[in-house]
Each structure stands twice: as C-alpha cells, then as structure tokens.
C-alpha cells in the first residue's frame, strides 16, 4: 500500500529534487524512495551527494545523481533533460536548493546579496522553467517550490534571504495561475526553522551565521517531518504549505493586523539577538 496519495496520482513515480545532498532535500528523497519512486537528486557538493545517494540505495532507492549549481541554467538544463530522457518525464519537481544569509542590510555585501538571490530565487526560476515544458508535454505534473516563513515574516537582519524567498512565493503564485488549466499543480512550502544544515550554508555577517546555526539546532521540527507532511498536503493540491502551525498563525496575523505584527516582530527580533548573543558569550557546558 502506498504511503502517499501522490504515488497513486503519479504511478510512474518520477521525481527530481534539488539540494538533496542533505537536510530537507534528502528527506524528500528518502520518503519518495521508500514509496518506490525513482528520484533525480542534485547538490553542488559531490561528496555530500555521493553519501546521500548511498543512503538512498541502502533503503532500496535507485537515485540518479547530478552535481551542479542551480544558479547555472545550462548545467541545470543538462541534468533535467538527462533525467527526463532516461525515465520518460518528471511527475514531481522539487526546487529545494538554497543558502541562508543574515545581517543588517548594510553589513551584507552586495555580492552576498546577489548570490542569495541567484541561488534561492533564480535557482527556483531555473527549475520551474525546465520542469514546465516537460509537464505540459506529458499533460500533468506537480512542482513544489521551497520558500520559507521568512518570505512573509520579513524580520530584521534577513533582507537578502527574505527578498529571495518572497520572490519564490510570487513566482509560484504567478505560474500556479498560468498552469491551472494544464493539470499542473504548483505548491509553495514555507516552513519556519527546520533542523537541517542550512546554518552551515549561511553567508553574511559572522554573528548572524552563528545565530542561524543556533536557531536551526533549537528547532523542534525535523526535515523528515516537514517532508512527510508536505507530501501529504501536496496531494490535496494546496498552494500554501506552511509548517509548523505557528508559521500559519504568524502569516494570518501579518495579513489581518500588519501594524501590530511589525511591532511584535521587531521586539521579538531584538530579543532573539540579545538571547543568542548571550548564548555565544556564555554557552551552556
């Protein structure tokens, strides 16, 4: 019996997942492989991807690995075309690859800002641009674009990251409408902090990189939980997938009481910086 309704919806079971060398991308790959899917997995780090592929094979998966930078369209195109050619198409495309970036706006270099946009937003745009023609031709498909709660929380010290993720939301909403009559579903995953290694992939101000690692380590939600819940909600055709419940509450608060929301976010952000700074100075033994 299938673990996910998506497996019954797409019996050919072909998925292409970026940033699958670790964290959330690998969790998606694990969940789908356990349900008999063929997965194309990508990462910019060859060693990390090799280890991930070995882990997938150990649970009976048959991953096809591609090492490239999602910001480079030509490399992305080559991988997608190879996978689609081998397996006759792509049922689910998951644009997950990304990096973190933290710091006051004028502390983040323009090169770091640009890199964040190129990977987190243009990487998703590249994936969508490559998945859509394949799915149009076969007459169906599902694209999951991984944004973040930062897309709408837009807290201080996260300008580059939030701008990129907000762009992912807007992009996804636009193409959702364009594809609605083509039997192609577009969903947005916008989780809050998840226990992954993104803290180690964060650029920007030094302390903000450390803060990011701490917040990720403190998270109560695992990548496996997010992947499993997301795959279940995708089967409902959800546009917005916000996890955990706290993220949905904050999203609704911002929409209904924006001024109150901004005051709360500013105060909370200042408190978090103070708390994490104290933790850096006097870490628990």
Sequence-distant (≥ 6) Cβ neighbours of residue 257 within 8 angstroms: none
Peptide bond preceding 244 in cis form (omega within 30 of 0): yes
Which 8-state DSSP code applies to residue 106? T
Q: Are 164 and 150 in contact (CB under 8 A)?
A: no
Asked whether the beta carbons of 58 and 83 are under 8 A apart, the reply is no
Helix axes 223-234, 23-34, angle to 10 degrees: 60
Whether 10 is a known active-site residue: answer no
The upper half-sphere exposure of residue 268, i.e. CA atoms within 13 Å in the direction of its Cβ, equals 10
Torsion of CA 186, 133, 70, 242, to 10 degrees: 0
CA dist 117 → 79, 125, 170, 268 (Å): 22, 11, 14, 26
The values of phi and psi at residue 270, to 5°, are: -65, -40
Q: How many CB atoms lie within 10 A of CB 272?
A: 16
Structure tokens at 119: 């990977």
Give the active site residue among 10, 66, 161, 261: 161
- Distance CA(103)–CA(110), nearest Å, equals 12
In degrees and rounded to multiples of 5, residue 148 shows phi and psi of -175, 155
Which residue, among 1, 79, 96, has the nearest Cα to 40 in the 3D structure?
79
Is residue 119 a contact partner of residue 97, using CB atoms and an 8 Å limit? Answer: yes
CB count in 10 Å sphere of residue 181: 7
Residues involved in catalysis: 161
């Amino acid at each position: 019996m299938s673990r996910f309704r998506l497996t019954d919806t797409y019996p050919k079971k072909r998925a292409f997942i970026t940033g699958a060398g670790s964290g959330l991308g690998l969790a998606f790959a694990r969940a789908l492989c356990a349900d008999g899917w063929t997965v194309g997995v990508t990462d910019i780090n060859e060693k990390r991807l090799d280890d991930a592929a070995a882990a997938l094979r150990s649970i009976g998966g048959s991953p096809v690995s591609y090492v490239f930078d999602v910001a480079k369209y030509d490399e992305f195109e080559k991988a997608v075309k190879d996978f689609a050619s081998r397996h006759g198409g792509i049922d689910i495309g998951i644009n997950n690859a990304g990096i973190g970036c933290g710091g006051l706006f004028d502390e983040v270099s323009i090169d770091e800002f640009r890199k964040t946009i190129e990977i987190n937003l243009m990487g998703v745009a590249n994936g969508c641009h490559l998945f859509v023609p394949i799915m149009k031709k076969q007459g169906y498909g599902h694209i999951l674009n991984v944004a973040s709660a930062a897309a709408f929380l837009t807290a201080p010290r996260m300008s580059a990251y939030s701008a990129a993720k907000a762009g992912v939301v807007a992009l996804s909403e636009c193409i959702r409408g364009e594809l609605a009559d083509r039997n192609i579903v577009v969903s947005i995953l916008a989780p809050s902090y998840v226990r992954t290694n993104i803290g180690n992939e964060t650029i920007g101000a030094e302390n903000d990189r450390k803060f990011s690692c701490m917040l990720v380590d403190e998270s109560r939600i695992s990548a496996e939980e997010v992947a499993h819940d997301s795959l279940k909600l995708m089967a409902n055709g959800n546009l917005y997938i916000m996890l955990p419940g706290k993220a949905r509450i904050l999203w609704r608060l911002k929409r209904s009481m924006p001024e109150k929301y901004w005051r709360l976010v500013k105060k909370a952000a200042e408190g978090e910086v103070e708390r994490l700074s104290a933790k850096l100075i006097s870490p628990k033994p």
